[in-house]
Amino acid sequence: MFKRGFNKIYMKVLWVAAKLLPISKPTMFIGKDSSVELCRSIALMGPKKVLIVTDAGIVNLGFVEMLSSELEKWSVSTECYSRVTPDPTYDQVESGAVLYRESCCDAVLAIGGGSPIDCGKAIAALATNVKPIKRLTGLLKLRKAPAPLFVIPTTAGTGSEVTVAAVISDPITHKKTPILDHKLMPVAAALDPVLMQGLPSHITAQTGMDALTHAVESYISTNATPETDRYALAAVKLIAKSLETAVSNGGNLEARLDMALASYYAGLAFTKASLGYTHAIAHTLGSYYGVPHGLANALVLPNVLAYSKNSAASRLANLAVVIGEPAGGDNAEAFISWVRDLRQKLGIPDTLESLDEGDIAGIARQACIEAVWNYPAPRYMEQQDCERVIAELLPTTAD
Ligand SMILES: [Fe+2]
């Protein structure tokens, strides 16, 4: 009971903080070949040497070569740090910042999925705040503005081009810690569907479900505002229209662009309205079993929505209307069913093979701690509630 009361008060404090903090938005370049436009804009803004932060896969696709030659056309030279791995680590950030300084760079361009973008944000922060990276983790620890940061996402899900967080892992304990600061917002970003065409279908599906979870959790958040509602509803509409097509036909540029926009809008929504228990449980499943973030969200989202249904019925009903359900009837249930159906159509399972029944109490404990400090969810979960929601993911054993 004490925790529930504390959660309510603390979430109000976060709501006020979100209103008071000067959270800007990046200048956006959107559409086919917008990454080329972004390169021109970088040159116009003054940088002379840009550190491109990415991973080996993006280098192999030729995107770094393309961006370097575009920048060189405008007399901007480049250096590349391409050793980013999934869940970037403190030492990767520190190596990238050393390369930035030794190469006399004056801006960072991060290209890739969530990991290169998080690593790029952290390198930009460390470039100007010279101290051990661990001391930058936590809330509002950046004294100086990061190096000018430009971003090109090649997946549509994290929304990290518009978020004020970068998650970095300890290479020894594997514990993930965020740097949370409004100064981390990129200067400009490009949503270029051409660079997303080659994304494998299962990653398109999982990252798309991450974007859907951002939109839905921010929409049913008790800290939602009319502004975050507009972004969340637009994101859900675009995902309902185009996620299946982006998965089945990755070369469809219209569907790719819709999903890139959906991820962007959902990012704008959750940066201010925050998330909920789906993310708390998904993060914990990631730390226990290495479940990819989008997959973990897809597994958990319908179960958390079913738990929250009575407390968020009218909000869920609005979402049902947005995806084309006729008004009237149990529309909250209709929306939850739509999420389950979409997940099935995308080939995502509804149970987690690696889930060990003996771990459920520990997973629930960790998830509830994350939620009580971070998420203005419409219905509070006690330990036993959370355990029940997680247990629904146990594989059913045939008789
Ligand atoms: Fe997420």
CA of 24 to the centre of ligand 1 (A): 20
CA of 293 to the centre of ligand 1 (A): 7
Separation CA 293–CA 315 (nearest Å): 25
CA of 391 to the centre of ligand 1 (A): 21
CB 162 within 8 A of CB 184: no
> Any idea what the Cα angle at residue 209 is, between residues 206 and 214, rounded to 5°?
130
CA of 46 to the centre of ligand 1 (A): 33
CB 169 within 8 A of CB 138: no
Task: Locate the domains of the chain by residue range.
Answer: 24-196, 201-391
CA of 271 to the centre of ligand 1 (A): 11
* Among the listed residues 185, 209, 207, 212, the one whose alpha carbon sits nearest the alpha carbon of residue 196: 207
CA of 266 to the centre of ligand 1 (A): 10
Sign of torsion over alpha carbons 255, 29, 196, 288: negative
CB 236 within 8 A of CB 212: yes
Separation CA 155–CA 151 (nearest Å): 12
CA of 186 to the centre of ligand 1 (A): 18
CA of 357 to the centre of ligand 1 (A): 25
Q: What is the pLDDT of residue 329?
A: 76
CA of 296 to the centre of ligand 1 (A): 9
* Superfamily of domain 201-391 in the CATH hierarchy: Dehydroquinate synthase-like - alpha domain (1.20.1090.10)
CA of 214 to the centre of ligand 1 (A): 6
pLDDT < 50 stretches in the chain:
398-399
Say which amino acid occupies 177.
Answer: T
Q: Which fold has domain 24-196?
A: Rossmann fold (3.40.50)
* Residue 229: other Cβ atoms inside 10 A: 17
Q: What is the pLDDT of residues 154-194, one digit of tens each?
A: 999 999 999 999 999 888 877 788 899 999 999 999 999 99
At 261, which helix (H) or strand (E)? Answer: helix 253-273
Q: What is the CA radius of gyration of the chain?
A: 20
- Find all residues with CB under 8 Å of 257, minimum gap 6, and list them: 30, 31, 32, 191, 193
CA of 237 to the centre of ligand 1 (A): 18
Secondary structure of residue 191 in the 3-state scheme: strand
At 300, which helix (H) or strand (E)? Answer: helix 293-308
Residue with tokens 């509602």: 229
Separation CA 44–CA 27 (nearest Å): 13
Q: Which two tokens stand for residue 237?
A: 């509409």
List, as ranges, residues with CB under 5 A of the ion ligand 1: 210
Residue with tokens 């910042």: 97
Question: Measuring CA to CA, how many Å separate 313 from each of 309, 330, 357?
Answer: 5, 9, 31
| Angle between helical axes of 360-374 and 2-20 (0-180°, round to 10) | 50
CA of 248 to the centre of ligand 1 (A): 22
CA of 25 to the centre of ligand 1 (A): 19
Q: What is the pLDDT of residue 396?
A: 80
